[in-house]
């Protein structure tokens, strides 16, 4: 079982996974989500109703994002884990099970389709199948894709993830009785139990860390800001990469930097998007200039290492052109 949400490579260029900060809407009374008869026993499809059940029963939510038919790994997960007795006997003790389906070959009821699309965006699901684990409020703390396993092995995996939610809550509760840097470190401990992919769902915790430790002694907030740039700027530039409109990306990056007042290593990361686009456009002289901007900010950061790699690549290309 491998965790998701590492950087994605496309056409040899580093494209960082994007997150969507949209809030999932509540289904109105007129849009009550009905559970199709095909849903397996013990599972529901109404997300808001599932949250109420989880709150009432003191459970978490396990959201299964699936295409079901036509998705080999979705079928394997269902056959090898979700329909096995061990899973059916153990997992409902801690989770309300919610099936969210995205079929290619059939239309869902309109209210269900609308709900599922909102949740796809809210949890930023980019692959199927995906299990997202949330507390009763729907705030995620872990996500897991599926590779070959058996029910017992996957149950162990889920138990480990569930313990992380418990550890999260204990640390966040302990932080309430602390002040200053001690409070910040305890909040960081709690947030460290959450997959980085879901940190944007914890803005209240991040703000509390910044307030408790304005100097950012451990660099935690700086790392968060880097992640936010990767997420938000990645979202902006991805369509341009997909349409190969590389010439338009530098202006998008510049606008993002100005609007959000990006500084430090976060600024370095933003500028790397610009170097990638310029390189793809064949504007090698400009690539070198932007790479120098990255290095001028901090030549020892991770972003600086990428800038140095880009400069070396440009130098090799120049040498080849000189030989010709």
pLDDT digits (tens, 9 = 90+) for 206-259: 999 999 999 998 888 888 889 889 988 998 999 999 999 999 999 999 999 999
pLDDT class of 164 with cuts at 50, 70, 90: very high
Q: Which pLDDT score is estimated for 227?
A: 86
- What mean pLDDT comes out for the span 4-33? 37
pTM of the prediction?
A: 0.75
One domain for residues 140 and 13: yes
- What mean pLDDT comes out for the span 249-272? 95
Residue 95, SS3?
Answer: strand
Q: Which pLDDT score is estimated for 106?
A: 80
Kindly report the average pLDDT of the chain as a whole number.
86
- What mean pLDDT comes out for the span 46-72? 95
Q: Is residue 283 part of a domain?
A: yes
Domain boundary among 93, 123, 151: 151
- What mean pLDDT comes out for the span 92-110? 92
Percent of the chain with pLDDT over 70: 87
Q: Is 294 exposed, middle or buried (0-12, 13-18, 19+ CB in 10 A)?
A: buried
One domain for residues 262 and 319: yes
Which CATH number fits the domain that encloses residue 269? 1.25.40.10
- β-bridge partners, 60: 95
What is the count of structural domains for the chain? 3
Q: Is residue 2 part of a domain?
A: no
pLDDT class of 91 with cuts at 50, 70, 90: very high
Q: How far apart are CA 72 and CA 271, in angstroms?
A: 39
One domain for residues 173 and 191: yes
One domain for residues 60 and 131: yes
Q: Is residue 158 part of a domain?
A: no
Q: How far apart are CA 237 and CA 75, in angstroms?
A: 34
pLDDT class of 21 with cuts at 50, 70, 90: very low
- C-alpha pair distances (Å), 29 with each of 26, 47, 49: 9, 14, 12
Q: Which pLDDT score is estimated for 13?
A: 38
Percent of the chain with pLDDT over 90: 71
pLDDT at 19 > cutoff 50 = no
Q: Which of 131, 140, 278 is nearest to 201 (CA)?
A: 140
Place of tokens 């609007």: 259
One domain for residues 13 and 143: yes
One domain for residues 116 and 129: yes
Q: Which domain holds residue 34?
A: 8-151
Q: Tokens for 96, please give them.
A: 């309300």
Domain boundary among 218, 234, 260: 218
Q: Is residue 157 part of a domain?
A: no
One domain for residues 106 and 176: no
Tallying the residues shown for the chain, one arrives at: 324
- In this structure, which long-range contacts are made by residues 39-44, counting pairs with CB atoms below 8 Å and at least 24 apart in sequence? 39/99, 40/78, 40/82, 40/83, 40/99, 41/88, 42/88, 42/92, 42/97, 43/97, 43/98, 43/99, 44/96, 44/97, 44/98, 44/99
């Amino acid at each position: 079982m491998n965790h998701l949400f590492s950087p994605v490579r496309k056409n040899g260029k580093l494209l960082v996974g994007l997150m969507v900060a949209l809030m999932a809407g509540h289904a109105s009374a007129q849009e009550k989500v009905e559970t199709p008869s095909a849903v397996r026993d013990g599972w529901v499809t109404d997300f808001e109703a599932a949250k109420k059940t989880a709150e009432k029963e003191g459970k978490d939510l396990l959201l299964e994002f699936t295409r079901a038919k036509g998705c080999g790994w979705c079928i394997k997960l269902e056959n090898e884990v979700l329909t096995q007795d061990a899973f059916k006997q153990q997992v409902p003790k801690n989770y309300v099970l919610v099936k969210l389906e995205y079929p290619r070959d059939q239309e869902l009821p309109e209210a269900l389709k609308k709900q599922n699309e909102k949740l796809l965006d809210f949890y930023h699901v980019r692959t199927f199948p995906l299990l997202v684990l949330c507390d009763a409020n729907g705030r995620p703390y872990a996500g897991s894709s599926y590779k070959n396993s058996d029910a017992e092995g996957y149950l162990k995996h889920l138990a480990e993830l569930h313990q992380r939610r418990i550890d999260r809550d204990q640390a966040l509760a302990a932080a309430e009785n602390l002040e200053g840097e001690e409070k910040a470190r305890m909040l960081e401990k709690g947030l460290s139990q959450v997959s980085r992919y879901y940190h944007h769902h914890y803005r209240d915790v991040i703000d509390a860390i910044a307030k408790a430790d304005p100097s950012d002694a451990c660099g935690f907030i700086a790392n968060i800001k880097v992640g936010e740039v990767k997420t938000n700027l990645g979202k902006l530039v991805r369509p341009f990469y997909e349409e190969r409109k590389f010439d338009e990306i530098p202006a998008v990056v510049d606008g993002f930097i100005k609007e959000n007042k990006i500084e430090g290593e976060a600024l370095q990361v933003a500028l790397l998007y610009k170097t990638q686009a310029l390189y793809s456009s064949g504007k090698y002289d400009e690539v070198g200039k932007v790479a120098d901007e990255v290095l001028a900010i901090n030549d020892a950061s991770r972003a600086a290492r990428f800038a140095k790699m880009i400069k070396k690549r440009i130098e090799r290309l120049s040498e080849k052109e000189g030989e010709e």
